[in-house]
Structure 1
Amino acid sequence: MDREQDELQFLGLFGIYKESYKIVYKWRKIFSQISLTLILPLSFIFLAHIEVSDILFFRIIHNENALDETRPDTASYKKIDDVITKEWVTFWLFKAVYFTSMLIFGLLSTSAVVYTIACVYTAREITFRKIMSVVPRVWKRVMITFLCTFLAFFLYNLVAIVVLIVWAVLFHSTRGDSPALVIIGLFLLILYAVGFVYMTIIWQLASVVSVLEETKGIKAMIKSKKLLRGNMWVASIIFLMINVSAFVIQYSFQVLVVRGWMLFGTMGRIGFGVLLLLLLLKLILFLLVIQTVLYFVCKSYHHENIDKSALSDHLEVIYLGDYVPLKSKDVQLEQV
């Protein structure tokens, strides 16, 4: 990162993209190693999950249709019913393994990329072996932040479900003849989507805070919220652009690979699958780099200058294995 921190506050949307691209290009060797080790498995798991889920769900639907056409209280009916039960168990076990694997590789990838960019910022020597030795230590702090965020999302969705039930009861009592309730329903839906995006952006930046500062968990989320003030629109646009790109890749995979066997054959599906896998890998890497650059931009915007020597010492403590985070007074100068 060639820019001084006081210059980072002036980076807009395209400036953040440009700075992120420059970092990835300049350190492409180390980022390629991180991508092949951590981000490639993450991308493969995500796309493979779409394929396997479609196969499992199709089998369940097929057997449920066969069950509807079978006379109850017969041996065939009981046999098909047992098969459906086993398939549902397999389906949810696969989902559990998928989410666990995504969580592990996602947090490890985040820790590796954030630590790497911090080393770039402080002009420290970077080697892939060094990064991989640090990641398991930093990963624990990012995990705590994720668990706190998961709890916040759980409570948020719980409140949303209660509000939805109340709205549905009122809507049913009026037999759908209340335009006001329809407008209120649309407003609540928009409000829920805005809140969900807002919390997701806070979580993403909180993951960076957990690596580079002594805060973690709820404190990291509060710190992230403060840092995003004044840059929330930029962060929101980045979030939407990344997620739209991810949706395009996911939809293309479903059309060209999962359901494209009749049009393209086996080799065509493999070709499209590899291409979309590489695109997803690049997108995830770019997202992780962007959210780390955004952290430095937000720090600069609020005039919370990071002492490079103190941050360098902080990274060295992590590398040595005895993870003793620096105090905020050591990492961060007083706010101007």
Structure 2
Amino acid sequence: MAKTTEVQDHDLVGLRETPVYQAEASVQHIVSDLKRVVALDQTIEQKQREMTQWMIGCILGAIAVFIALIVASGLSSAMTIALVIVLIGLIGGIIVTSRKRGQYVAINIPNYRYQLLPKLLTMLVRDMDKQAPVSTHLVLNPPLRIQKCTFDGPHPHRSGWNLKRYDDQWLTLEGELLDRTRFQLLCTESWVTAAGWKRGRSGKRKYKTKSKSKGFELALALRVPRKKYGALPVLTPAAREAIQLPKTCSLKRLEVEDNSLYLRVKMLPPPENPDVQVEQLYQAITLMFLSLYHILNLAKVLSDDKTEAS
């Protein structure tokens, strides 16, 4: 991405075709690129608001013209024809602005995604060579997209309803820390959409669609020098006690090998507020790193003791 934050029309087209930011570069370079992503999303949101305002204006205008045609009497044929033409034009405006607004909604970037990444990189770079490359894959479109659907079938609890599940692995982050530990962080967001016919209070059947967030799955893998942490396998029985997580997270899997650690947690859906989403994700990921390094530090102490004893 270019260094300038000025957004061009071709950027919006490019985002629609390839909604991904991918790079293998220094933290400073990636953070600079993300400023452009922020500017791009702000442009999208501004255009979305503009289309919404134009659409509302067209709707109100069409209603006013329609009422005028019904209520007003004694209009000349020419005036009536003119009002009908205006009404048709306003209806066309509603259709066009609605479609344009839908296009901007489809490429609107979830704010927490580009807000979380700089915070994570700022945290990690403290223990990295500042020029060391970090591999980053950041998905920029929302999770409810057909290509992210991993299940589509009958609802297990509602007869006649259909259930779709969406799993969106939206962040992959890989790099090496100063102690030569390699890390890989994966963030996946899951949603379910249930759809079917439901009878309302009036007795009429209506087709309903409900979407619900199922939260996040966070996975962190560390690969470490075997000589430095040779006592890792010994800690396997007690490793779970070293894991400290926020109340919003639960431990799903922990693997301790002779030169690697793997931690996977499930995080409850945070509130819709992007700031809260970023803070909860950042806190969870930070504690995941700290927990695994607590295990590594214990292994290092045991390894050093064995070396001294021998």
Q: Give the TM-score category using the shorter length.
A: 0.3 to 0.5
Whose strand fraction is larger, Structure 1's or Structure 2's? 2
Higher Cα Rg: structure 1 or 2? 2
What is the TM-score of this pair, normalised by structure 2? 0.40
State the structure with bigger RCO (CA 8 A, min sep 6), 1 or 2: 1
What is the TM-score of this pair, normalised by structure 1? 0.37
Whose helix fraction is larger, Structure 1's or Structure 2's? 1
